[in-house]
C-alpha cells in the first residue's frame, strides 16, 4: 500500500478543474442557481399578472377600463424600449468581452466589459428615473393608484415595484460582479482562471437580461 501513496496524493491536484460530470463545478452551481432564480422571478411576475388581471376586471365591470388602465397610462413604450435595448446591447457586449478573453485579447476585453458595465449602469439609471416619474404620476408602493384625480384600489403598484425593483437589484449586483471581474483581470492578467471568472459573471448578466425579455413582453406590452 505504501508504494501507491505518492501516486495517490497526486490526485488531490488532478481533479479540481473538471469533475465527475466533466464540467466546471462553479459553472454547474451557477446554472443550477439560475434555474432556481427563474422560479423566483416567475413567481414575482405571476403575482403581478394576477393582480393586473383583477384590476382590469374590476375596471371593466365599472366601465372605466379605457381611461383608468394602469398599464396603458403609466408604462410608456418609449422609455421601456430604450431600457430593453440597453440590456440587450449589454448582453452583446458581454459575449464579445468573453470571446475576447478566450483569445487573451485583454485590450478588447476591457473595452467590451466596460461597455457592458456602462450599459448596465444606464439601465439602472433609467429605471430610477422611471420609478421617480411613476411616483409623481401617482403609482406607488401602495394598494391604490391615482389617475386623473380618481383613486383606484389596486395592487398593481405594489407588485410592479416589487418585481422590477428586485430585477433592478439583480442588475446592480451584476454590475458589481462585472466590476469585480474587471478589476481582478486587470490586476492578475495571467491568471488561468480569468476566462471562467468572466464566463460566470457573463452567465449571470445574460440571465438578468433574459428576465427583462420576459418582463418587457409580459408586463409592458401585453
Please give the residues from 105 up to 164 whose contact with other proteins meets the rule CB under 8 A: 141-144, 153-155, 158-159, 162
- What does the CA dihedral 102, 107, 110, 112 come to, rounded to 10 degrees? -70
Cβ distance to other proteins smaller for residue 47 or 124: 47
Which residue is it, cell 420576459? 214
Query: Please, which of residues 27-46 interact with other proteins by CB under 8 A?
Result: 27-29, 31-46
Taking the mean position of all CA atoms in its chain, how far away is CA 155? 23
Closer CB to other proteins, 20 or 63, in the complex: 20
Closest CA to 29 of 191, 203, 181: 203
Angle between helices 194-215 and 156-187 (to 10 degrees): 160
Residue 122 and residue 87 in contact, taking contact as beta carbons nearer than 8 Å: no
Cite the beta strand spans of 125-212 per DSSP E.
Answer: 144-147, 150-153
Range in contact with other proteins (rule: CB under 8 A) among 16-24, 63-71, 119-127, 130-138: 16-24
Query: How many of the other CB atoms lie within 10 Å of CB of 144?
Result: 15
- Interface residue with other proteins, options 16, 63, 107, 149 (CB under 8 A): 16
Which residues within the stretch 61-80 sit at the binding site for other proteins (CB under 8 A)?
A: 77
Size of the site for other proteins (CB under 8 A): 95
Q: Name the minimum Å distance from CB 206 to other proteins.
A: 5
Range 167-206, binding other proteins (CB under 8 A): 180, 184, 191-193, 195, 202-203, 206
The values of phi and psi at residue 150, to 5°, are -100, 140
Selected binder of other proteins within 59, 68, 83, 94 (CB under 8 A): 94
Nearer to other proteins, 28 or 132 (CB): 28
* Candidate list 2, 3, 66, 149; residue touching other proteins; CB under 8 A: 2
Amino acid at each position: 500500500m505504501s508504494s501507491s501513496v505518492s501516486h495517490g496524493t497526486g490526485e488531490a491536484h488532478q481533479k479540481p478543474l473538471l469533475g465527475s460530470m466533466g464540467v466546471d463545478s462553479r459553472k454547474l452551481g451557477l446554472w443550477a442557481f439560475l434555474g432556481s432564480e427563474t422560479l423566483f422571478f416567475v413567481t414575482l411576475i405571476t403575482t403581478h399578472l394576477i393582480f393586473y388581471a383583477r384590476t382590469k376586471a374590476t375596471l371593466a365591470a365599472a366601465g372605466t377600463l379605457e381611461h383608468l388602465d394602469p398599464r396603458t397610462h403609466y408604462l410608456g413604450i418609449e422609455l421601456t424600449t430604450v431600457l430593453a435595448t440597453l440590456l440587450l446591447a449589454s448582453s452583446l457586449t458581454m459575449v464579445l468581452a468573453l470571446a475576447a478573453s478566450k483569445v487573451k485579447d485583454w485590450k478588447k476585453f476591457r473595452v467590451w466589459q466596460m461597455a457592458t458595465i456602462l450599459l448596465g449602469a444606464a439601465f439602472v439609471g433609467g429605471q430610477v428615473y422611471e420609478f421617480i416619474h411613476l411616483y409623481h404620476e401617482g403609482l406607488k408602493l401602495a394598494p391604490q393608484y391615482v389617475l386623473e384625480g380618481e383613486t383606484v384600489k389596486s395592487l398593481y403598484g405594489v407588485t410592479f415595484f416589487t418585481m422590477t425593483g428586485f430585477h433592478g437589484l439583480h442588475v446592480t449586483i451584476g454590475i458589481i460582479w462585472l466590476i469585480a471581474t474587471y478589476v481582478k483581470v486587470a490586476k492578475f492578467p495571467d491568471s488561468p482562471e480569468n476566462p471562467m471568472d468572466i464566463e460566470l459573471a457573463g452567465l449571470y448578466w445574460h440571465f438578468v437580461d433574459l428576465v427583462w425579455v420576459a418582463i418587457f413582453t409580459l408586463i409592458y406590452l401585453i
